[in-house]
Amino acid sequence: MIWFRELIVLLVLAGGGSLSAGATPGTQASDPAPPGCGGLLQQGGLVICQAPPGTQFRWNDRQVRADEEGWAMFGLGRDAGEKLEISIRPPQGAKIVEELTIEPRNDAFRVIEGLDCDKVDARTPEQKAHAGRSWVKKQDAFGTFHEGRGALDGFVRPAKGPPSSPFGPARKYVGVSAQTGEACEKVSVHRGYDIAAPTGTPVIAPAPGTVTLADPDLYYEGGTVFLDHGHGLVSVFMHLSEVDVSAGDEISSGARLGAVGNTGRTTGPHLHWAVKWRDMTRDDRSGDFYIDPALLLKLDGGKAMSARRKDGAPVQTGSINPE
């Protein structure tokens, strides 16, 4: 059985290099460790791999390559299968095939009644025009990529307050339009992590990144900021009452982005924080998907992102943060 090293952010940041299986904190082994993957191994999580720069990681019909520091990462869909087979091809040496076990989710189904249908769908011509302009802005931003460290620096909570709605539940909305009087019914999946907080509560960057969209008035989202962390990961902050950054700004972790609000299609003040993984090898954005921000909070403070036991089996770190 091949022995894999631990991938630990804190040690990489402190030592500037990768760790092999025999390395201890503050030391670096003489021989580089073989390529391997681990991470937040749950549906909606994140696979994090380390290997020689340029190593190709292939799974299903997708692929990523290790960057110049030897890191690669990719999202796991909410409906990812129980087993994930990854083909690893270093620039030199034989191909490695690795199988990871993915922990399943158990998301709830919720019914929300008495909702103004105009908060679910654009219904009038003016609303539809506003929604159309907003869609174009979002698509342009999702198709813009910047280099960055992705999840390597960990994630912190972007606002103070209790979680009010988790990532993952399917929601059935039932209501009547205030504009037209028409009844509506719609089922959708909640793809973000909501934090209940009063209007004006500061919103900060959970990880470093580059702003790709800063708009005070998108139709559904209201005040919105997109923050590209690199490796295809982009954070989306919605319903802001204040937007304090501009597209192109380079933001450090903990820097202010804006303030919690009640803008867009909402039922009360809160921050909706979503994280999307985008396949940077494709021009078509239809294959991109959201992952669970609560799982990324497991990386807070430089904690172990992913590890492998000495017998080669992955250590899973994907349980929901209890906050």
Residue 243, H or E segment: strand 233-243
Q: pLDDT digit string (tens) for 222-268?
A: 999 999 999 999 999 999 999 999 999 999 999 999 999 999 988 89
User: Where are the extended beta strands (E) located within 62-208?
Assistant: 62-65, 71-75, 83-89, 96-101, 109-116, 163-165, 170-176, 183-189, 193-196, 202-204
Q: pLDDT digit string (tens) for 51-96?
A: 999 999 999 999 999 999 999 999 999 999 999 999 999 999 899 9
Whether the pLDDT of residue 308 is over 70: the answer is no
Band (183; pLDDT cuts 50, 70, 90)? confident
Fold exhibited by the domain 7-105+298-315: Immunoglobulin-like (2.60.40)
Mean pLDDT across the chain: 84
Whether the pLDDT of residue 23 is over 70: the answer is no
Q: So what's the pLDDT on residue 33?
A: 64
Q: Pick the residue with more confidence: 17 or 45?
A: 45
Sign of torsion, CA 255 261 263 265?
Answer: positive
Q: pLDDT digit string (tens) for 189-227?
A: 999 999 999 999 999 999 999 999 999 999 999 999 999
Sign of torsion, CA 244 207 101 67?
Answer: positive
Q: So what's the pLDDT on residue 177?
A: 82
Whether the pLDDT of residue 127 is over 80: the answer is yes
Q: So what's the pLDDT on residue 34?
A: 78
Whether the pLDDT of residue 275 is over 50: the answer is yes
Q: So what's the pLDDT on residue 210?
A: 98
Q: So what's the pLDDT on residue 162?
A: 95
What are the sequence ranges of the domains in the chain? 7-105+298-315, 109-291
Band (172; pLDDT cuts 50, 70, 90)? confident
What does the pLDDT average to over 16-31? Answer: 34
Q: Terminus-to-terminus CA distance in the chain, angstroms?
A: 38
Query: Distance (Å, rounded) from C-alpha 20 to C-alpha 27?
Result: 10
Band (42; pLDDT cuts 50, 70, 90)? very high
Q: So what's the pLDDT on residue 300?
A: 52
Q: So what's the pLDDT on residue 32?
A: 59
Fold exhibited by the domain 109-291: Glucose Permease (Domain IIA) (2.70.70)
Q: pLDDT digit string (tens) for 73-84?
A: 999 999 999 999
In sequence order, which ranges of the chain are alpha helices (DSSP H)?
9-15, 125-142, 293-296
Q: Which residues contact 298 (CB under 8 A, 6 or more apart)?
A: 40, 317, 318, 319, 321
Q: Pick the residue with more confidence: 54 or 122?
A: 54
pTM score over 0.75: yes
